[in-house]
């Protein structure tokens, strides 16, 4: 019995070690180290540790003590009782032959009334001095011993209970019966602990504050019988979770938590090879990561590496740094996701491949606004909310003649006005607009030579799209025309009134608008009949770009000076219009949206919601543009 038990226990331990080895192997397969084996690589984002309760200080509740386990009491197990009358009248010889036949057929104990044990009991009552009884009894004891070892190895309460009853049937004074009863008590107790621990694992109760958890169930089981297979199996399951959590904590740079969990695993299995290997892995991962993480996240922010910055932040969060530090980094990442290198209202200037300065750009803040006008015409309805949840920049000023000249010089592009040899100008003698030959982007609103700092006019939608494409090619950035929704957004600049400045005449000079006090040189009698009362910005015709006060978004001339092209196709209402700020484009459309007022507009045309339309090749003395650029 003892030799066989020792051999079986050795096999059990070997199986256990192999099983625990597989746990580590599967972990390593799931979480491979980086190709360069760097201890500084971040392999995964922070995740909660499964089934382990934690305090606000990120330390697990843990009391390693266990209550004294009460071994299950085993009630008296009676010997088997048989109805001898079932046999009829058999002689001793006939019974002996029947027993031999039953053993030959391996019917030692089953079926109950046709087993060797059944016939032996009858033989003892018929002929207690029969010489074959000791030999048969010994053979049955050997079979019971084999079954006993198997039942113990499998923690089989039912089989072991039956074996005890069979031993009693053979010899109620057999000393093994007492040992087997003790073993049955142990197995029954461990089985209950195993079932309890398994259920706790299913419920993610690995380690809890009240110690009603799988760790303590496993500890109690292994303390009762360190060789028991179910006790060791439960220990292996709990330690597998602890090891996995510890390794993950180490990869997330929480070495204190990782060590705490390895220590918990050691308490369950001090000699475990898997625990020792996990300890070595954690020791290998320990480096001066704290300062390194801060260095890395700052570098990621500087280079706008959003993905890496997020990973670094997840590691910093788990280091329990002051919340103000985490908030600062989170705000930086949020800003970077929207605006790249910039912040809202920052200005920047790109340069061409030849080193010439391109239009100065201003970064727009994110936000939302109500687009349209409830009291306006049909094409300004329905009023709808537009959300600008992305970063983009807009040229701070309208594109000037000098800006446009760089494009023409670099590309020898021929504008639509040049192709048709004419454009619309303003006749100061009659106060009317008229078409005039030989008018190009080089001319001003009267057809005279344009000044470099004036907004470029006499340019079509086709022309300005060629210009933005040139900007993109020069900078490798996505320059474009602003969408109509973007234009109204930065024209309003947070205002909700009829005009960007309010609901009536501006109280001070804000932009180049039509005012009744405006005068034109050489014709003092000419007035703007539909201009604002008591308003005089001292310009009749376009003013140099950026001559007035910028709006709340740090942009000039958004409401006046010249009207501006947008990217959108014309639609006669906002039904089904985009709600995300994007341009509303239909492939092949002929008419495009013009926004903002000009130096000659009526008061109504300065409204924030006012829209106008023209064909893509249209040019005019009142019409220019500005550009936008995506920041991502």
Residue 67: the pLDDT is: 72
Fold topology of 348-630: 3.90.1580
Dihedrals phi, psi of 133, to nearest 5 degrees = -60, -50
Average pLDDT estimate for 364-393: 97
* Least confident residue range of 130-134, 406-410, 609-613: 130-134
Q: Mean per-residue pLDDT for 32-60?
A: 43
Kindly report the average pLDDT of the chain as a whole number: 86
Q: Which residues of 368-385 are buried (b: 16+ CB within 10 A; e: fewer)?
A: ebebbbeebeebbbeeee
- For 398-441, the pLDDT digits (tens) are 999 999 999 999 999 999 999 999 999 999 888 899 999 999 99
Please, are residues 189 and 69 in contact by the beta-carbon 8 Å criterion?
Answer: yes
> In terms of pLDDT, which residue wins out, 524 or 573?
573
Q: How would you classify residue 561: left for phi > 0, otherwise alpha for psi between -120 and 50, otherwise beta?
A: left
Per-residue confidence (pLDDT) for residue 34, from 0 to 100 = 37
pLDDT tens for each residue of 256-286: 889 899 999 999 999 999 999 999 998 887 6
pLDDT of residue 442: 98
Q: Which one is predicted more confidently, 557 or 189?
A: 557
Residue 46: band (very low, low, confident or very high) from pLDDT cuts 50, 70, 90: very low
pLDDT at 308 over 50: yes
pLDDT for position 180: 85
Q: Does residue 58 have a pLDDT over 50?
A: no
Task: Name the helix (H) or strand (E) containing 229.
Answer: helix 229-251
For the chain, percent of residues with pLDDT exceeding 70:
85
* Residue 136, pLDDT above cutoff 60: yes
**Residue 309 phi/psi, 5° resolution?**
-60, -40
Lowest mean pLDDT among 74-88, 267-281, 372-386, 496-510: 74-88
Model pTM score: 0.60
Q: How far apart are CA 311 and CA 306, in angstroms?
A: 9
3-state secondary structure of 12: helix
The whole-angstrom separation of Cα 56 and Cα 565 is: 57
What's the confidence (pLDDT) of residue 24?
A: 42
CA 369 to chain centre: 29
Q: Which of 464, 417, 466 minimizes the C-alpha distance to 621?
A: 417
Residue 628: its pLDDT value, please? 98
Which H or E run includes 473?
helix 461-475
Average pLDDT over residues 583-607: 96
Query: By the 8 A CB rule, do 541 and 522 touch?
Result: no
Return the closest-CA partner of residue 473 out of 358, 619, 333, 577.
358
Most confident of 97-111, 328-342, 468-482: 468-482
How many CA atoms are closer than 13 Å to the CA of 381, on its beta-carbon side? 6
pLDDT of residue 47: 42
4 vs 342 pLDDT, higher one:
342
Q: How far is residue 13's CA from residue 6's CA, in Å, rounded to a whole number?
A: 11
Dihedral sign of CA atoms 529, 533, 539, 544 in order: negative
- Contact yes or no for 411/468 (Cβ under 8 A): no
pLDDT of residue 154 exceeding 90: no
Q: Bridge partners of 132?
A: none
Name 315's Cβ contacts closer than 8 Å, sequence gap at least 6: 42, 46, 252, 253, 289, 293
| Phi, psi angle pair for 588, to nearest 5° | 85, 5
pLDDT in tens, 190-245: 888 999 999 999 999 999 988 899 999 999 999 989 999 999 999 999 999 999 99
Residue 252 has pLDDT above 60, yes or no: yes
Supply the pLDDT for residue 191. 87
């Amino acid at each position: 019995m003892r030799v066989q038990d020792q051999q079986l226990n050795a096999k059990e331990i070997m199986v256990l070690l192999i099983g625990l080895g597989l746990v580590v192997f599967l972990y390593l397969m799931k979480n491979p180290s980086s190709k360069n084996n760097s201890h500084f690589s971040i392999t995964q984002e922070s995740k909660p540790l499964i089934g382990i309760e934690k305090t606000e200080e990120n330390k697990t509740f843990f009391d390693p003590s266990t209550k004294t386990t009460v071994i299950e009491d085993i009630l008296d197990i009676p010997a088997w009782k048989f109805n001898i009358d079932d046999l009829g009248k058999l002689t001793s010889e006939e019974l002996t032959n029947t027993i031999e036949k039953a053993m030959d057929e391996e019917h030692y104990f089953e079926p109950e009334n046709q087993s060797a044990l059944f016939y032996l009991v009858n033989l003892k009552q018929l002929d207690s001095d029969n010489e074959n009884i000791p030999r048969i009894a010994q053979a049955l004891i050997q079979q019971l011993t084999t079954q006993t070892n198997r039942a113990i190895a499998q923690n089989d309460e039912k089989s072991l209970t039956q074996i005890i009853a069979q031993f009693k049937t053979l010899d109620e004074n057999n000393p093994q019966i007492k040992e087997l009863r003790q073993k049955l008590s142990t197995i029954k107790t461990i089985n209950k602990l195993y079932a309890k621990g398994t259920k706790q694992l299913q419920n993610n109760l690995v380690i809890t504050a009240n110690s009603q958890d799988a760790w303590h169930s496993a500890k109690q089981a292994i303390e009762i019988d360190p060789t028991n297979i179910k006790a060791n199996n439960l220990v292996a399951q709990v330690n597998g979770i602890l090891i996995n959590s510890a390794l993950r904590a180490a990869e997330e740079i929480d070495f204190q938590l990782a060590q705490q969990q390895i220590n918990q695993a050691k308490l369950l299995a001090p000699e475990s090879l898997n625990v020792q290997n996990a300890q070595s892995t954690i020791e290998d991962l320990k480096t001066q990561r704290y300062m390194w993480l801060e260095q890395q996240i700052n570098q990621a922010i500087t280079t706008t590496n959003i993905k890496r910055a997020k990973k670094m932040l997840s590691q910093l969060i788990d280091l329990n740094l002051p919340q103000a530090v985490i908030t600062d980094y989170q705000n930086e990442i949020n800003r970077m996701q929207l605006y790249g290198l910039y912040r809202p209202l920052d200005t920047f200037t790109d340069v061409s491949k030849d080193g010439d300065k391109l239009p100065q750009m201003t970064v727009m803040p994110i936000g939302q606004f109500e687009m349209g006008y409830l009291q306006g015409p049909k094409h300004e309805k329905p009023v709808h909310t537009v959300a600008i949840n992305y970063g983009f920049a807009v040229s701070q000023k309208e594109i000037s003649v000098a800006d446009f000249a760089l494009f023409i010089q670099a590309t020898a592009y021929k504008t639509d006005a040049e192709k048709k040899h004419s454009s619309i100008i303003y006749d100061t003698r009659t106060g009317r607009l008229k078409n005039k030959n030989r008018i190009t982007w080089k001319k001003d609103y009267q057809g005279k030579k344009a000044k470099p700092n004036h907004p470029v006019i006499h340019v079509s939608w086709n022309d300005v799209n060629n210009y933005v494409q040139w900007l993109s090619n020069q900078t490798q950035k996505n320059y474009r025309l602003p969408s109509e929704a973007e234009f109204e957004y930065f024209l309003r600049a947070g205002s909700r009134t009829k005009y960007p400045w309010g609901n009536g005449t501006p109280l001070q000079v804000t932009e180049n608008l039509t005012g009744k006090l405006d005068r034109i040189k050489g014709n003092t009698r000419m007035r703007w009949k539909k201009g604002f009362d008591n308003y005089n910005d001292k310009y009749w015709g376009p003013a140099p770009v950026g001559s007035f006060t910028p709006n709340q978004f740090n942009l000039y001339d958004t409401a006046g000076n010249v009207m501006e092209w947008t990217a959108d196709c014309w639609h006669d209402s906002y039904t089904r219009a985009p709600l995300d700020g994007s341009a509303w484009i239909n492939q092949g459309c002929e008419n495009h949206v013009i926004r903002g007022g000009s130096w000659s507009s009526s008061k109504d045309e300065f409204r924030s919601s006012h829209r106008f339309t023209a064909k893509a090749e249209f040019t005019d003395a009142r019409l220019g543009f500005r550009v936008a650029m995506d920041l991502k």
